[in-house]
Amino acid sequence: MKTYSIIQMIFIGEVIAVMWLFLSGNISVFEHVATLRQENITVADKIKCLEDYICHLNYEINEWQSNPLVKEKYAREHLQMAYPNDIVFLMPKTGERGEI
C-alpha cells in the first residue's frame, strides 16, 4: 500500500512539472498542437504520394511480367537492340546537333 501512494505522488509530481513547463515556456500549448497538426498533414501528404508511386510501380511490374511487348519496346529504345534484318536509324537526342 505504501509503494502505491509513492508511485501516485511521483505521477502527480510529473503531471505538475509538465504543466508548469508548458505554461511557463515560450510556446503555448495551442501553438504546439497547431504545429503538430501541420506536421501531421505534411506527413499524410508524403504517405499519399508514396502510396501512389508504389501503385504505379506495381502496375509497371505487372506489365513487365505479363506483356512481352513491353520488354521488346524497352530493349529497342533503351538498349539499342534490333533483329538481325532490321534497318536502324539513330536520331540525335533533343539538344544535340548532328553534322552531315
User: Along the chain (100 residues), what's the average pLDDT of each consecutive run of 10 residues?
Assistant: 77 84 69 89 96 96 93 85 81 65
Neighbours of 4 (CB within 10 A): 8
pLDDT value of position 77: 82
pLDDT value of position 95: 65
For the entire predicted model, the pTM comes to 0.52
pLDDT value of position 96: 59
Burial 11-47 (b: 16+ CB within 10 A, else e): eeeeeeeeeeeeeeeeeeeeeeeeeeeeeeeeeeeee
pLDDT value of position 25: 67
Rounded Cα–Cα distance for residues 40 and 58 (Å): 27
- Please give the backbone phi and psi of residue 93, each rounded to the nearest 5 degrees, phi first: -70, 165
CA nearest neighbour of 60 among 73, 47, 48: 73
pLDDT value of position 99: 57
